[in-house]
Amino acid sequence: MQIKELNIENFKGITSLVIKPTKINIIVGKNNTGKTSLLEAMDLLFNNEDFSKYGNYLHDIINYNYESSEIKAKIINGEIKELDLKIEKADFIEGFEKFKKEMIQQITSYWKKNPDENPKLKETELDKIFNELIDEPEIKDLFSKNLRITRGNIKEILNYYFISDYRRYILPMRLIDKLFRKHNIKIGFLASALTEKTNQKENADRNVFYIRRLLQYKIDKTDVKILDRVENIIKEKSLIKNLRRLQFDKVLFENEKEVAYLFLGDGFKALVALLWELSSDNLNNNILLLDEPDIHLHPGYINELIRIILTFAMEFNIQFFIATHNSDFISEILEGEFTKEQKKFLEKEFTLFKMDSLKGLTTVDKADYKKAIDIRENLLLDLRGT
C-alpha cells in the first residue's frame, strides 16, 4: 500500500496542506510548523483507535480557528482508493446522548446475565432516569468537549470518556450512585459496565504504523522469531562488532564477554527498536511514520539507519514518512555513498517536504532528490538555525 496524495485541512497547527508523496519522504522544518501534526493526521486517518492517545486534549486536534478538520488521501493498494476523515466539534447534547445510550445498553445487557438484579425497568424509563443528570455541573464538564467523526457513511461521537480504558476513574460515581439509590436500583452492574474497554483493533489489522519515540517503543519479549531477525540484521550490517548473540537482557560477544542490554547506548537501543518494528510480519507493503528516529543516534548509526530505511523501502515495499531536523541525517542521505541501485531508487522515490508557517498559514516546499542536493547548503543552514 502507498499514499499517492494527502490533503489535510485545519488539523492542529496545519491550516491547509496538499502533498504527493513517494516511497521515502523526509519532512523538515522549524519547530511548530506542523511536522509531527502531518504524521499524526496520517495515523488517525488509518487508525481510528489512536484518537485515545490525545486523552483530555482530544478537542484540540481541530485548529483553534476552525470548527472542523478534514484529512483525505488517495492510496494504491492493488487499486486506487480514496479515504476521507472528517472531524467536527460536537455539542454537549450529542455527547450526553451517546453516553446515555451506551449506559442503557450496558445496563440491560448486565440485567440479562443477572436477572435477579433486574428491577423490570423499560429502556424508556431508564432514559428518563439518566436525563436527571443532564444539569449536573460534573456531567456538563465531562461532556462539554466532543468530536463528531465521519468516515464515509459512518459517524460517531468521541470524547475523553468514550476513548478511555479507565472510565470508572473519569465518571463521577457519586452522581450515579445517588441517582440509582434514589430509584431503588441495585448498582452491581457499574463495576463491569464502567470498566469495559473501547473496542480496539489489533496491530495485525493495521496498514500504518506510527513510532514517535523509538526509546519508548515496547518490544514483545516473547517473540523470539523477531529477535532472531534483528540479530541477523545487526550482524549483516556490523552494528556491533563480534556479536555472537542478541538476547532480551544481554548481548554476548565472540570472546565470551557479556554486556547487559540495559548498559548499551541509547542510540543502539533506538536502532534495535526500529529494526524490531521493521522485522514485524505485518509491516510488509505498508507505511511507517517516524518522528525524529535520529534523536538518540550517533552519526555512525545515522549512516546505518539510512541504509536500513533504503533496504526495507526497496525490498519490502514500505513507504516511509520521516520527520526530522537533524542536519547529520540530511547530510548523510544527500551526500552519503550509495550503490548505483540505491542512488537510482533515491532519484525516483525520494521527496523532501520543507514545512513553514507564513502569517499563520501552512506552507510546504517540495524537492526531489536532485533538487534537494542542489539546495542542501541553504537547507542545512536553516536546520541549524543560522
Residues 290 and 174 in one domain: no
Residues 292 and 364 in one domain: yes
In tens, the pLDDT along 314-325 reads 988 899 999 998
Residues 136 and 169 in one domain: yes
Residues 189 and 207 in one domain: no
**239-243, 280-284, 329-333: range with lowest mean pLDDT:** 280-284
Residue 68 counted as domain residue = no
Residue 72 counted as domain residue = no
DSSP state of 308: H
Residues 208 and 352 in one domain: yes
For the record, the C-alpha cell of 21 comes out as: 508523496
Residue 188 counted as domain residue = yes
List the beta bridge partners of residue 2: 76
In tens, the pLDDT along 147-174 reads 999 988 888 888 777 776 656 556 777 7
Residues 306 and 167 in one domain: no
In tens, the pLDDT along 226-256 reads 888 888 888 887 767 778 888 888 888 887 7
How many domains does the chain contain in total?
Answer: 2
Residues 103 and 168 in one domain: yes
Domain span including residue 215: 2-47+203-219+284-383
pTM: predicted TM-score of the whole model, two decimal places: 0.85
CATH code of 290's domain? 3.40.50.300
List the helix and strand counts (H, then E) for the chain: 14, 15
Mean pLDDT, range 96-108, rounded to an integer: 86
Q: Residue type for 123, please?
A: E
Residue 78 counted as domain residue = no
Burial of 278 (0-12, 13-18, 19+ CB in 10 A): buried
Phi and psi at 122, nearest 5°, equal -85, 160
Task: Identify the pLDDT of residue 19.
Answer: 95
Residues 9 and 103 in one domain: no
Residues 330 and 208 in one domain: yes
Residues 208 and 189 in one domain: no
Residue 60 counted as domain residue = no
Distance CA 256, CA 83 (A): 54
CB 313 within 8 A of CB 349: yes
Instruction: Count how many Cα atoms sit within 13 Å of the Cα of residue 131 in the half-sphere of its side chain.
Output: 6
Q: Residue type for 143, please?
A: F
What is the band of 382 on the pLDDT scale with cuts at 50, 70, 90?
A: confident
For the record, the C-alpha cell of 139 comes out as: 456531567
Taking residue 356's Cβ as centre, other Cβ atoms within 10 Å add up to 15
Radius of gyration (Cα) for the chain, nearest Å? 25
Residues 377 and 292 in one domain: yes
Spatial CA neighbour of 279 closest among 254, 322, 312: 312
Residue 129 counted as domain residue = yes
Distance CA 40, CA 34 (A): 10
**33-37, 215-219, 356-360: range with lowest mean pLDDT:** 215-219
CB 2 within 8 A of CB 76: yes
CA dihedral 296, 301, 306, 307 (to 10 degrees): -150
Q: Is the pLDDT reported for residue 343 higher than 80? A: yes
350-358 and 319-323 beta bridge pairing: unpaired
Residues 215 and 359 in one domain: yes
More confident residue, 284 or 298: 298
